Amino acid sequence: MSDLDGRQRAIARVCLGEAPPADALALLGGDPRRWQVYRDLVRTRLWRALLEALPRTYAAAGGERFGGWFTRFLDEAPPRTRFVREVAPAFGAWVRAAEGEALSRPAPWLPEALALDLAEHHVALSDARLDPSELAAFSMDLPAALDPAHRRVRVRWAVEGEAVVERPRTLLLHRHPTLGSVETLELSALGADLLDAMDDGATPVTAAIGGVLSRRGLSADGAFAEAFAGLLTDLMEREVLLGSFAPI
Amino acid sequence: MARVEGVGLGLRAPLVGDLMTRAPPSLRWVEVSPENHMGRGGFFERMLADARGRFPVVTHGLSLGLGDRAPPDPAFLRALRAFLESVGTPWHSDHLCFGAVDGAHLHDLLPLPFTRESVRAVADRVRLLEDALGLPIAVENISWYAHPGDAQMSEADFLGEVLSRSDARLLLDVNNAFVNARNHGTDARDFLRRIPADRVVQIHVAGHFTGADGFRIDTHGEPVCAEVYELLELALSRTGRVPVLLERDGGFPPFDELAAEVERLDAILQRASP
């Protein structure tokens, strides 16, 4: 190991370790308070990135538990990405792996708080898009083309005032067409099933609807047709439904 | 490729509305960090498109790791090159520091020792990066708060050696020169007199935080202090009229205050020799 390698590794250990190691500080020399400056800068930047991306997770876990994860994450599995925006997803994956089933104890809503935070983070930043040459005007006889940046998240819990109550539903998160902000649409159970069936990029909409209605023992009556048309219109205005995939 | 001259401002989300609607006349270009935009849709994509429609863009990187030990990631370099070409930057700058160790990215500007080994490592990497990116690389002097181990030369000599052994240009950060001088008891004017002025393609100016103990941290979150304006005049007297960037990354004041700083910088710049 070269001298330069050794000094860089010492700085990394001072910044990322659970505590600054004495041998690393000795190798670096100088005033340990100045190395603490680097430790604070590194950790503060990453901490802020996580708090910004994962507010629900922080609230559900509490500061002590979240802080413990942060300390272990930096010590055991520090970010492997050069993009700050990718640190939160990496942290989220590490938390899930490290906690396993314990993540839902004592607050059973913690896993979905994390899922919802990460979905919102993805929707805000994603550059996923469809190739315009693959798109056609919307047709019930073609597969629906949905914006790949949107996310649908099934959640069981809802915050109502100061309380967390059980209220299963599906949330559709998408970007506002002009503002770029993340918007949330609450879907009915039937609407969520329809979108799931329509979002495989292959099944014509008519067939996707038929499958869902058949499973639910429903018929495509006038009331359904009116509600479904309303859903499609809403999704088009939100630019979640971009049209259909053109026939190959 | 648009000509870049005069005073620029860093493109930041909280500033973009004012930048697009009431930028001061002397604001001539914007600086963009590719890492904040590459592979990112939504608001940031639109912000960059709007800025490119109005201003020339110069790029300033955060993660090339000029002092990193691991070879650069070829996939990242390809994507970065495509980004740089898309915005038409005349050069790409990054910091004279390291940021990643054994695959872990620390997301800060970490100090290199002022040693011959560091000089060789950085110079080799700069040459490699210039080939990969197809553009001149400008190296920025950083604020450093501690020196790792023993130094074999001064910061000015270190910088000069890196530039002489590579083909790099210099992005001279006047605030960093000031912060370092105050923190380490050296003379910023002496530093500015010793850097190779003919290699300077751009200057950075910013504010910094001063702690209760007088120690200064380069935050880009405060107004530019009087001493840094004075140092800018000295630097420009040596470099001639090169593009000057006001960096502001936090503690955003009312836009009129930033506009006044831009105007003040422009007045100083216009007094410099062409």
- Range B173-200 average pLDDT: 98
Evaluate whether ipTM surpasses 0.95. Answer: yes
Residue B62's CB: how many other CB atoms inside 10 A? 18
Alpha helices (H) in B88-151, listed in sequence order: 116-133
Q: Looking at the structure, do residues A11 and A99 belong to the same domain, yes or no?
A: yes
Kindly state whether B117 is in contact with chain A, defined as any CB-CB distance less than 8 angstroms: yes
- In a domain, residue B2? The reply is no
Same domain, A248 and A132: yes
The C-alpha of A45 sits at a distance from chain B's nearest C-alpha, in angstroms, of 8
Q: Quick check: B210 contacting A, CB < 8 Å?
A: no
Q: How far apart are CA B97 and CA B146, in angstroms?
A: 13
- Tell me, what's the pLDDT at B1? 67
Among A125, A149, A178, the domain-final residue is: A125
Domain enclosing residue A142, as ranges: 128-248
- Give residue A180's pLDDT: 87
Same domain, A115 and A135: no
Partner-chain residue, chosen from B44, B100, B107, that has the shortest CB–CB distance to A46: B107
| A residues 189..248 contacting B (CB < 8 A) | none
Please indicate if any CB of chain A lies within 8 Å of the CB of B133: no
Separation of first and last alpha carbons in chain A: 57
Which of A67, A94, A125 delimits the end of a domain? A125
- The number of distinct structural domains making up chain A is 2
Q: Which one of B145, B182, B209 would you mutate to disrupt binding with A, by most A Cβ within 10 Å of its Cβ?
A: B145
Is pLDDT above 90 for A191? yes
Residues in B touching A85 (Cβ below 8 Å): 40
Closest Cα of chain B to A9: distance in Å? 6
Domain count for chain B: 1
pLDDT of B19-71, one tens digit each? Answer: 999 999 999 999 999 999 999 999 999 999 999 999 999 999 999 999 999 99
E strands present in B116-226 = 137-140, 169-173, 200-206, 209-210, 216-217
Note whether A94 and A187 are same-domain residues: no
Distance separating the N- and C-terminal Cα atoms of chain B: 21
Which CATH number goes with the domain that contains B131?
A: 3.20.20.150
Residue A1 predicted with pLDDT over 80: no
Mean pLDDT to the nearest integer, B194-212: 97
| Position A5 confidence tier, pLDDT thresholds 50, 70, 90 | very high
> Domain check: are A81 and A113 in the same one?
yes
Distance CA B96, CA B167 (A): 14
The residue out of A64, A99, A125 marking a domain boundary is: A125
Residue of B nearest to A75 (CA): B104
Residue B124 domain-assigned (yes or no)? yes
Which residues are bridge partners to B255 per DSSP? none
A42: nearest CB among B40, B107, B147: B107
% of residues, chain A, pLDDT over 90: 94
Do residues A101 and A150 share a domain? no
Residue B22: domain span: 7-271
Do residues B44 and B13 lie in contact, with contact meaning Cβ atoms separated by under 8 Å? yes
Task: Take residue A4 and report the two structure tokens written for it.
Answer: 């330069």
Same domain, A235 and A135: yes
> Same structural domain for residues A132 and A244?
yes
